[in-house]
């Protein structure tokens, strides 16, 4: 403080002092001085030598300089970090110098000398620099270079330190830590990513390696196995590979850059197609780039199948028409794929040329799951020829690489001939004069043909004539063949020189050949004494065809001498032929004389138009002359019919509705008959196929004289639910009767008019896509029933606020709906125009198709497509309440492939099952599945029993259950390990049960009930709890219909839309993409949006939309529009037992009308 004061000295006081106030100002400023001067106005006072004095003010203030902040975090890729020191406390009026220098921590520094660059392995550049603070400079910063080294390493740090020689400067904080965050990545993947291994190989070795990058720290990668067509059930019961011990963690570091992982391959003795499973890499380490992250292992089957005939030979009668031959699987093991073999015939002694003995046959037989025997027919020709037993062979071959030849690859078919040939005497009576000395007796083949020798014995038998007095006895063998149809034998007649009456003996035939019929078996031989006059018919039998004008009867003097006239009377007598069939003079007197020894009598034969059997009449000789012997005195005339009748199908075409059940086809006979006429009516496939569309028919119809000339047959028509258009088959009439002429309609076409209708509809009334995210949209057209042939429908786009070309393409789609699949899908393009715009819409219109002979209805024919601009809406999420075991339902995702490149998404939700109660999982046409829950502890309930009610293909209801205790399976209360009947099968493995049921008109449902021992997380304490539980999986099936219901069934065919989601949510998972998922259920109560994470659930491999709680992992669901996943409440799905079928939201039906 500036001071001026007067001091007065006295005699007693020669020293005086003054206190000058010094200001303590907290400013660091260096030492300062001011001057104190002594002056006096008293002339007697002389000042000096120290008339003034310098006062130095020593500055004792301090300044605090330190880092602010004291911790820095920098990405390695930022290249620099700026570190700043500033005056923390105090002020300056002079310079203050502080030295800043770096020192290594886990990061290594290096000098960046000119031209040499940082040393290898360095993380930053060393810095030592002086920082000068003054009155105007209160903060000083230094840029420190960070080295981006492409090495994956942990977060590293180095220190920055302050130092000074200025005692007035306090350093606090005098050091700072710089953390360098590593941004480098390392590529790890399968090398190779495709493996093929034979089933019998013990293991397949998977190689996982560092493909790119350098490591200075450890990176953990998890290798998991996922079922494809190859499956793994448990360590106790593996199927195709053994995944016990997986997933495994692979820890890569500086010294470990590759792993060789062995996966055991099971040898199952089941013939199957090549199967595959996937090995998948995952990692939570952001430095790990996994590419390729999936390896496919293909297991080629090493099992073989042997197929042979059930018999090495078989006999068939020639008249059987065909022989059925069966081939069977002769090897052990099961078939899980089809195996085709070819069976073909080859000639032995039987010939197939021209189908003379049998028809050459080559046919493919297909064996497969449940098919271990296949039979086929070989046509046998009934040729009416007597021949020896003949044979041919049938051989099995196959091009299947797993086919192994075995015994019974060839079978021999013996054709046993059952034809007959008639051999008899012709003529059957002989007259011989004693003077002739010899009579020749002949036997011949009268009916039939021979292709082998037939032996007949001819021998004589005494009558009134006896051997050896009247004739020489004969006993000879006659051999007939195809070239020798007649055999004659001479019998010697003995002349006794006695005058006697005519005598008779016979020649008889016998044979041991069962194919030979002897008729006439006996011939009468009359020996006439050469002194007796004999007149008779010569010959005594006549055959004439109806169209011949006359038949000439010859009567002759057969023996003796005639020296006078003799009268003989000829009379005609009806037999089966009457006066309408013949005419002639009767009675007629024939006058014989020495000059007339033979007389011919013509008899007129009438020609009618009546089809009849052969008819006969007789001519009889009588005479009053006692010296005349009439022998033979009767002649028989047989009239063979020459008439024909026409047989025709009444109409050349018939039309029948599929629902009529039968079609009546009639055959008409044109003409008059007096005998039976047989025809055969048979069907053959056209576009209609038996037995699916109609019942194959072959029926013999016999017209009799008493019947009308029209006969009909009813052919059953199949009434299916397949939309197939009009179909046809052919009805043909044939006859083996040579008197039957077929025509004018030898066949008729039957057209089955299809009355089934298919209804088409879009899978959803609306879809929403985001312009910059979804480059395409996907829509599906559903059909409500099966089509026999594919149909093509047209979908047209109609602009709204969205315009064709600017916002979407194309204008039109041609969509082919296949015969069997429930739906067909198509994709359109969304244009990303980078123009800010409002939400826009356009429509898809399903045009009403015009398809010949197919009735197509269109129900839901419009879809509103909404295009959102790139700005995404925010979705607020919340966790749902605690539940119990989680179920998964496959969902139909409209645009999943375009969004994720995945093929499947599952809706995952929890069932709030009460302990000791039953809940319905599936209710469908002819199918119900219920589950029972039991308590694990106070908070966790699990499934321990599955009850299935199903209707088999015979319409019989079956009750199937699987109990966790021993994983026991029962059918109708009976314990089974393997059951198969009428389309329903149950097969028990050690810890799993496969159930397959027909499901009425829907596709077959295949279900797995897996008994597991799992580690569950207590939802309240977080403790791990070991629990036995049942996992229920629907592998295939269910009607894709809104009628399907139950906790699983109600979501079976619900479409889902997805779009990338960037809004806020709880418990975000960095590094995992998120997607907004909209479930568009037809019931608006169950329409909700959730957030999808590309994570996996430990019991369900694959992407999963979680809408339950934390028990199964991260599960999220939005608060708006509502939190309800299922229709109604869980309690409303409770049933009264394992086989209960009384439900609130659906109706179980026994397939009687094919509805649910």
Structure tokens at 877: 């999420």
Across the range 1068-1084, mean pLDDT stands at: 52
In angstroms and rounded to an integer, the radius of gyration of the C-alpha atoms of the chain is: 56
Give the 3-state DSSP-derived string for 341-388, with helices as H, strands as E and coil as C: EEEEEEECCCCCHHHCCECCCEEEEEEECCECEEEEEEEECCCCEECC
For the question of whether the overall pTM of this predicted structure is more than 0.75, the answer is no
Strands 96-104 and 156-163: antiparallel
| Residue bearing the bigger pLDDT, 268 or 293 | 293
DSSP 1132: G
| Residue bearing the bigger pLDDT, 761 or 1022 | 761
Residues 6+ apart with CB under 8 A from 878: 1066, 1116, 1117, 1118, 1119, 1123
Indicate the pLDDT class of residue 563, thresholds 50, 70 and 90.
confident
Percent of the chain with pLDDT over 90: 40
Q: What is the chain's percent helix, strand, coil content, to nearest 5?
A: 5, 50, 45
What is the distance, to the nearest Å, from the Cα of residue 613 to the centroid of all Cα atoms in its chain?
61
Sign of CA dihedral 578, 583, 588, 593: negative
Strands 533-537 and 628-630: parallel
Peptide bond into 810 cis (omega under 30): yes
Looking at the predicted structure, is the pLDDT value of residue 128 above 90? yes
pLDDT at res. 881? 29
Indicate the pLDDT class of residue 1054, thresholds 50, 70 and 90.
low
Q: How many CA atoms lie within 13 A of 472 on its CB side?
A: 12
Neighbours of 423 (CB within 10 A): 29
Angle made by CA atoms 982, 922, 1107, in degrees to the nearest 5 = 150
Sign of CA dihedral 555, 561, 565, 567: negative
Q: Is 1111 helix (H, G, I), strand (E, B) or coil?
A: helix
Query: Which DSSP string do the residues of 57-79 spell out, in sequence order?
Result: E-----EEEEESSSEEEEEGGG-
Looking at the predicted structure, is the pLDDT value of residue 120 above 60? yes
Indicate the pLDDT class of residue 1109, thresholds 50, 70 and 90.
very low
Please write the tens of the pLDDT for every residue from 646-693.
Answer: 999 999 999 999 889 999 999 999 988 888 999 999 999 998 999 889
Looking at the predicted structure, is the pLDDT value of residue 1112 above 50? no
Looking at the predicted structure, is the pLDDT value of residue 554 above 80? yes
The owner of tokens 């409303």 is: 1132
User: Residue 78: what are its φ and ψ, rounded to 5°?
Assistant: -70, -20
Please write the tens of the pLDDT for every residue from 130-145.
Answer: 999 998 898 999 999 9
d(CA 1014, CA 1028): 6
Please write the tens of the pLDDT for every residue from 594-626.
Answer: 899 999 999 999 988 888 899 999 999 999 888
Please write the tens of the pLDDT for every residue from 863-890.
Answer: 899 887 764 332 222 222 233 344 545 5
Looking at the predicted structure, is the pLDDT value of residue 830 above 60? yes
Percent of the chain with pLDDT over 70: 84
Indicate the pLDDT class of residue 391, thresholds 50, 70 and 90.
very high
Query: How buried is 658 (Cβ within 10 angstroms: 0-12 exposed, 13-18 middle, 19+ buried)?
Result: buried
């Amino acid at each position: 403080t500036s001071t001026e004061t007067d001091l007065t000295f006295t005699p007693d006081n020669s020293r005086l002092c003054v206190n000058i106030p010094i200001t303590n100002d907290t400013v660091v400023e260096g030492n300062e001085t001011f001057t104190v001067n002594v002056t006096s106005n008293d002339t007697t006072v002389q000042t000096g030598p120290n008339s003034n004095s310098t006062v130095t003010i020593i500055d004792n203030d301090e300044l605090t300089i330190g880092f602010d902040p004291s911790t820095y975090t920098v990405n390695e890729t930022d290249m620099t970090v700026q570190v700043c020191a500033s005056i923390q406390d105090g002020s300056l009026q002079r310079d203050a110098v502080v030295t800043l220098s770096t020192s290594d921590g886990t990061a290594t520094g290096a000098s960046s000398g000119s031209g040499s660059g940082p040393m290898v392995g360095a993380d930053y550049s060393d810095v030592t620099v002086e920082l000068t603070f003054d009155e105007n400079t209160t903060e000083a910063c230094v840029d420190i270079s960070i080295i981006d080294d492409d090495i994956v390493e942990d977060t590293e740090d180095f220190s920055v330190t302050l130092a000074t020689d200025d005692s007035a400067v306090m350093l606090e904080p005098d050091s700072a830590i710089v953390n360098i965050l590593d941004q480098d990545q390392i590529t790890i993947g399968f090398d190779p990513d495709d493996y093929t291994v034979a089933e019998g190989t013990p293991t397949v070795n998977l190689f996982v390696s560092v493909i790119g990058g350098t490591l200075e720290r450890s990176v953990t990668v998890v290798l998991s196995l996922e079922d494809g067509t190859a499956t793994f059930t448990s360590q106790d019961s593996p199927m195709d590979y053994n995944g016990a011990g997986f997933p495994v963690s692979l820890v890569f570091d500086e010294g470990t850059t590759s792993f060789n992982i062995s996966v055991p391959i099971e040898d199952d003795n089941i013939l199957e197609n090549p199967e595959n499973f996937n090995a998948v890499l995952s990692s939570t380490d952001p430095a790990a780039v996994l590419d390729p992250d999936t390896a496919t292992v293909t297991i080629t089957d090493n099992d073989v199948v042997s197929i042979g005939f059930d018999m090495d030979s078989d006999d068939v009668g020639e008249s059987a028409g065909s022989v059925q031959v069966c081939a069977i699987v002769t090897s052990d093991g099961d078939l899980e794929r089809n195996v085709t073999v070819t069976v073909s015939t080859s000639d032995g002694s039987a010939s197939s040329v021209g189908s003379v003995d049998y028809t050459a046959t080559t046919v493919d037989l297909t064996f497969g799951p449940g098919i271990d025997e296949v039979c086929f027919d070989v046509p046998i020709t009934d040729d009416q020829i007597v021949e020896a037993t003949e044979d041919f062979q049938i051989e099995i071959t196959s091009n299947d690489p797993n086919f192994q030849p075995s015994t019974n690859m060839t079978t021999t078919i013996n054709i046993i001939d059952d034809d007959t040939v008639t051999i008899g005497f012709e003529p059957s009576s002989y007259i011989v004069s004693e003077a002739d000395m010899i009579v020749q007796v002949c036997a011949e083949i009268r009916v039939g043909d021979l292709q082998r020798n037939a032996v007949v014995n001819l021998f004589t038998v005494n009558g009134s004539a006896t051997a050896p007095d009247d004739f020489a006895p004969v006993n000879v063998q006659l051999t007939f063949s195809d070239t020798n149809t007649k055999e004659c034998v001479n019998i010697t007649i003995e002349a006794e020189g006695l005058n006697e009456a005519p005598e008779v003996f016979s020649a008889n035939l016998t044979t041991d050949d069962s194919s030979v019929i002897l008729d006439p078996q006996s011939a009468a031989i009359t020996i006439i004494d050469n002194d007796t006059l004999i007149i008779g018919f010569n010959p005594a039998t006549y055959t004439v065809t109806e169209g011949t004008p006359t038949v000439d009867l010859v009567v002759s003097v057969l023996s003796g001498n005639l020296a006078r006239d003799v009268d003989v009377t000829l009379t005609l007598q009806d037999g089966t032929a009457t006066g309408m069939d013949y005419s002639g003079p009767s009675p007629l007197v024939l006058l014989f004389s020495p000059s007339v020894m033979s007389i011919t009598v013509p008899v007129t034969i009438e020609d009618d138009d009546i089809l009849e059997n052969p008819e006969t009449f007789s001519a009889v000789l009588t005479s009053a002359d006692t010296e005349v012997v009439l022998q033979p005195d009767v002649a028989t005339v047989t009239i063979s019919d020459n008439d024909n009748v026409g047989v025709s199908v009444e109409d050349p075409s018939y039309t029948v509705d599929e629902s009529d059940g039968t079609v009546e086809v009639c055959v008409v006979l044109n003409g008059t008959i007096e005998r039976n006429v047989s025809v055969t009516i048979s069907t053959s496939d056209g576009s209609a196929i038996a037995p699916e569309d109609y019942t194959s028919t072959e029926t013999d119809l016999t017209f009799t004289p008493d019947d009308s000339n029209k006969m009909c047959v009813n052919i059953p028509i199949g009434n299916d639910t397949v939309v197939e258009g009009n179909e046809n088959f052919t009805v043909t009439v044939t006859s083996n009767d040579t008197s039957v002429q077929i025509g004018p309609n030898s066949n008729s076409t039957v057209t089955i008019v299809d009355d089934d209708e298919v209804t088409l509809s879009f899978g959803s009334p609306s879809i929403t896509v985001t312009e910059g995210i979804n480059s395409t949209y996907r829509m599906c057209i559903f059909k409500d029933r099966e089509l026999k042939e594919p149909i093509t429908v047209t979908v047209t786009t109609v602009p709204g606020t969205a315009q064709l070309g600017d916002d979407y393409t194309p204008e039109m789609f041609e969509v082919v709906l296949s015969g069997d699949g429930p739906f067909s899908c198509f994709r359109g393009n969304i244009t990303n125009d980078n123009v800010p715009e409002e939400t826009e819409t356009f429509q898809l219109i399903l045009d009403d198709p015009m398809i010949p002979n197919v009735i197509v209805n269109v129900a839901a024919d419009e879809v509103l497509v909404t295009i959102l601009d790139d700005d995404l809406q925010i979705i607020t999420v919340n966790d749902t309440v605690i539940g119990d075991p989680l179920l998964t339902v496959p969902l139909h995702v409209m645009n999943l492939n375009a969004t994720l490149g995945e093929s499947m998404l599952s809706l995952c939700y929890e069932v709030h099952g009460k302990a000791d109660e039953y809940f319905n999982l599936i209710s469908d046409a002819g199918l119900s599945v219920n589950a029972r829950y039991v308590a694990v502890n106070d908070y966790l309930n699990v499934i321990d029993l599955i009850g299935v009610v199903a209707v088999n293909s015979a319409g019989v209801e079956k009750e199937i259950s699987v109990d966790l205790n021993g994983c026991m399976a029962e059918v109708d209360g009976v314990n089974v390990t393997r059951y198969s009947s009428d389309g329903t099968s149950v097969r028990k493995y050690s810890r799993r049960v496969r159930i397959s049921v027909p499901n009425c008109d829907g596709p077959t449902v295949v279900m797995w009930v897996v008994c597991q021992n799992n580690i569950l997380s207590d939802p309240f304490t977080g403790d791990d709890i070991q629990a036995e539980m049942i996992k229920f999986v629907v592998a295939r099936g269910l009607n894709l219909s809104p009628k399907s219901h139950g906790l699983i069934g109600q979501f079976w065919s619900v479409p889902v839309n997805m779009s990338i989601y960037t809004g806020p949510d709880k418990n975000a998972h960095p590094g995992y993409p998120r997607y907004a998922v909209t479930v568009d259920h037809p019931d608006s109560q169950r329409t909700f949006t959730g957030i999808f994470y590309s994570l996996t659930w430990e019991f369900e491999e694959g992407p999963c939309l979680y809408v339950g709680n934390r028990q199964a992992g991260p599960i999220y669901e939005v608060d708006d529009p509502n939190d309800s996943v299922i229709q109604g409440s869980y309690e409303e799905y409770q049933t009264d037992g394992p086989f209960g079928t009384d439900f609130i939201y659906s109706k179980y039906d026994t397939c009687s009308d094919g509805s649910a």
